[in-house]
Amino acid sequence: MQLRSDQWYSGEDRNGYLHRAWMRRGTPADAFTGRPQIAIANTASDLTPCNAHLTEVARSVRDGVFEAGGIPLELPVVSLGETNVRPTAMLWRNMAAMAVEELLRANPIDAVVLLGGCDKTIPSLLMGAASVDLPAVVVPGGPMLTGTFRGKPLGCGTDVWRLSEEVRAGTLSQEQFIRSESAMIRSRGHCNTMGTASTMALIAEALGTVVPGVAGTPAPDSRLLEAAHGTGRLAVEMIAADRRPSTFLTKASFHNAIVALAAIGGSTNAVVHLLAIAGRLGVDLTIDDFDRIGSRVPVLVDLQPAGRFLMEDFHRAGGLLAVLREVRDLLDPSALTVTGAPLVDALEDAPIWDAEVIRPRTAPVVAEGGIAVLRGNLAPGGALIKPAAASPELLRHRGRAVVFDSIEDFHARIDDPDLDVDADSVLVLRGCGPKGYPGMPEVSNMPLPTKLLEQGVRDMVRICDGRMSGTAYGTVVLHVTPEAAAGGPLALVRTGDPIVLDVEARRIDIDIPADELASRTPNAATLAGFAAPRRGWERLYVDHVQQADTGADLDFLAGSSGSAVSRESH
């Protein structure tokens, strides 16, 4: 078998000598030509605490690669910690994906095992691997174990939002809030709610890029290391089978991912990530596919933020395969996985072990809970809402807009006792899209005004061109496209304008005459937020980032470039 890495290591000329000699360092001569070289793309970092344990996982992958006759090579790649990276981790997703792509292409690598966990790491790894198109398989880092506070389980992320609002409402003391901090994160691993990290791990499995049954395994569970070992062996096998992303990631794969996203009640962030991954593969995927395929799918997983339980419970109850078995008739049976077998083949023995956590199809959490795509004169390119996380009574609503031109403007005024706002108002936050922020931060689930919280209000309609955390909840219209900074109608909304939301009709509109809307121009405060000077990656990003409805990737990164490197510098 001719290996890609032989282009570096074979031959007795000066170049072959140079490549081998610098890699020897005690390694036997037969470690090079004829032995598959497997990169372990590792996003472990102390500054990405949810991924810090991936170094241990990498050791198990390494053992599996050796066992199968390959040579494992750990490759540190860009790591993005959702809680730490400013101004938002999403600003750097495309850079991380580009770095993964370029490093895989530039090095003598035949296949890659992708180790990710925190929100942006699995999407960026898959985007980069899809572009370079070498055999690739994902090992998700897994969720943390459930922590408790005052005898009750804590959902990380979700309970941060909930408890902080209770402090603002005066129903929880600041002291008790701070005491809960040490109980929030009980163990290694990513968020234990159905946030973006858990969602993307499960969606990666539904796509076929994870060995079936692995995603959702808790990070401290020894079965994760067993799975990592087996994945290392599989990576070597994938080379002989020429099983690359382009050979098994098809429109059918994305169909199944959308069904899974709806059935698990997953994060809206999966939409922008799946669109970006599809764009790297040349798969024709649009936001309308999410509504067409997923909007009528029942939510079967009773998990925070839309339900009661947490990821440790989900794994115990049967995990993703048990969910997919319940909606098997909605899946495309032609979609394959990294194993070479169809995804549906893994569903034969996948029972539900706890019907409270994973509901049977006959008793769903929500009968039709998938992500809905809204359009209208406020979002001609589309916007999203997650009905399962919204208040049913607000899914059809009319209210007057209360407009904020930036997240800073919002924070400065939302708790002003003189702010003209009531429970029927619609909070509108703009300047938070890919270009406008830049980077599309998770700010769409705006905290409610303190004076309304004190009155018992716990949800309002909110509209934003940014994203929201998968751990968040509420009646939030987000990913509004085009964003305000790209000339979208959101830039023209004024406080007091009537806003009409009708999720059943898939509409989001500003109820003013079309000629009046067309005559408006953004005010000075709105424009000021988009005019900051840029340099470095931020400048490149703002100049080339696309809108949310196509995945917010850079325009010059769409499509695959393959693994060929035609020039040798030595």
Interval 262-270 mean pLDDT = 94
216 & 254 share domain: yes
Bigger pLDDT: 527 vs 63 = 63
Hey, how many other C-beta atoms are within 10 angstroms of the C-beta on 353? Answer: 12
Would you say 237 and 223 are in contact if contact means Cβ atoms under 8 Å apart?
no
| Residue 534 reports pLDDT greater than 90 | no
28 Cβ contact partners less than 8 Å away, ≥ 6 residues apart = none
Residue 551 lies in a domain: no
538 located within any domain: no
- Domain closes at, from 347, 364, 384: 347
Q: What pLDDT, on the 0 to 100 scale, is given for residue 11?
A: 86
Q: Is 494 domain-assigned? A: yes
- Give the domain extent around 450: 373-532
Evaluate whether residue 28 is within a structural domain: no
Confidence grade of residue 525 (pLDDT, cut at 50, 70, 90) = confident
User: How many domains does one find in the chain?
Assistant: 3
Does any domain span residue 353? no
**One domain for residues 318 and 385:** no
The pTM (predicted TM-score) of the whole model is: 0.95
Q: Which tokens belong to 158?
A: 């979700």
110 within 8 A of 36, measured Cβ to Cβ: yes
Mean pLDDT is lowest, of 145-159, 270-284, 494-508, for 145-159
Alpha-carbon distances, residue 346 vs 211, 333, 337 (angstroms)? 10, 11, 10
175 and 204 assigned to the same domain: no
| Same domain for 91 and 178 | no
Q: What local confidence, expressed as pLDDT, does residue 275 receive? A: 98
Domain co-membership, 410 together with 325:
no
Cα–Cα distance, 34 to 2 (Å, whole number): 8
CA neighbor of 370 nearest in space, from 289, 465, 435: 289
**In the prediction, which pLDDT does 305 show?**
83
Q: Are residues 174 and 193 in the same domain?
A: no
Q: Is residue 276 part of a domain?
A: yes
263 and 137 within one domain:
yes
With a pLDDT cut of 90, the percent of the chain lying above it is 81
User: Would you call 297 exposed, middle or buried from its count of C-beta atoms within 10 A (0-12, 13-18, 19+)?
Assistant: buried
Residue 221 lies in a domain: yes
Q: Does residue 13 sit within a domain?
A: no
Does residue 108 sit in the same domain as residue 234? yes
Q: Which of 381-390, 421-430, 464-473 has the highest average model confidence (pLDDT)?
A: 421-430
Question: How sure is the predictor about 165, in pLDDT bands with cuts at 50, 70 and 90?
Answer: confident
Q: Is the pLDDT at 29 greater than 90, yes or no? A: no
d(CA 131, CA 561): 6
